[in-house]
Amino acid sequence: KAGVTQTPRYLIKTRGQQVTLSCSPISGHRSVSWYQQTPGQGLQFLFEYFSETQRNKGNFPGRFSGRQFSNSRSEMNVSTLELGDSALYLCASSPYSVSYEQYFGPGTRLTVT
C-alpha cells in the first residue's frame, strides 16, 4: 500500500498570505489528523477528521482550518500567515475510528517570510 502523501513538500509564503496544504491518507484509512512540528514546541495536534467530520481540534487560532472530502483526502488552510507559522505540517492517517495507530506522511515544510 502507498503511504500517506502530502503536497506540496515545500512552500514559501509571505506574511498575510494564506496557504492550503493537501494530504492523501493510506488507502482505506478514514481518520486523518494534522500536526504542527516546530523545534521549540515539538509536535502539536491541530485537528482530526473522520468521515468528513471534524472530531477534535487542538489549541490553535481560528486561522487554522481544515476539511475532509468523501474520499478521505484532507486539506488544511492557514489564513493571514504569521512568521510563527513556519513549521513542518504533518498529516497522519489511521485505519481506526479512534486515533490509536497513526501513520505519518513526510510533511509540508512551510516557511513564512
Partner 1 sequence: QQQVKQSPQSLIVQKGGISIINCAYENTAFDYFPWYQQFPGKGPALLIAIRPDVSEKKEGRFTISFNKSAKQFSLHIMDSQPGDSATYFCAASDGGSQGNLIFGKGTKLSVKP
CA distances to 28, 35, 47, 73, 82 from 59, rounded to whole Å, are 28, 11, 9, 23, 16
Q: What CA–CA distance (Å, rounded) separates 111 from 39?
A: 14
Residue 95 sits in the site that holds partner 1 (CB under 8 A):
no
Place of cell 481518520: 31
Which one, 15 or 43, has the nearer CB to partner 1? 43
Which one, 13 or 45, has the nearer CB to partner 1? 45
Residue 83 sits in the site that holds partner 1 (CB under 8 A):
no
Sequence-distant (6+) residues with CB within 8 A of 79 are 18, 63, 65
Residue 30 sits in the site that holds partner 1 (CB under 8 A):
no
Contact criterion met (CB below 8 Å) for 108 and 6: yes
Residue 33 sits in the site that holds partner 1 (CB under 8 A):
yes
Residue 99 sits in the site that holds partner 1 (CB under 8 A):
yes
List the beta bridge partners of residue 113: none
Which of 7, 38, 51, 56: binder of partner 1 (CB under 8 A)?
A: 56
Stretch that binds partner 1, among 13-21, 69-77, 78-86, 94-102 (CB under 8 A): 94-102
Contact footprint for partner 1 (CB under 8 A): 4, 33, 35, 42-45, 48, 55-56, 58, 90, 92, 98-107
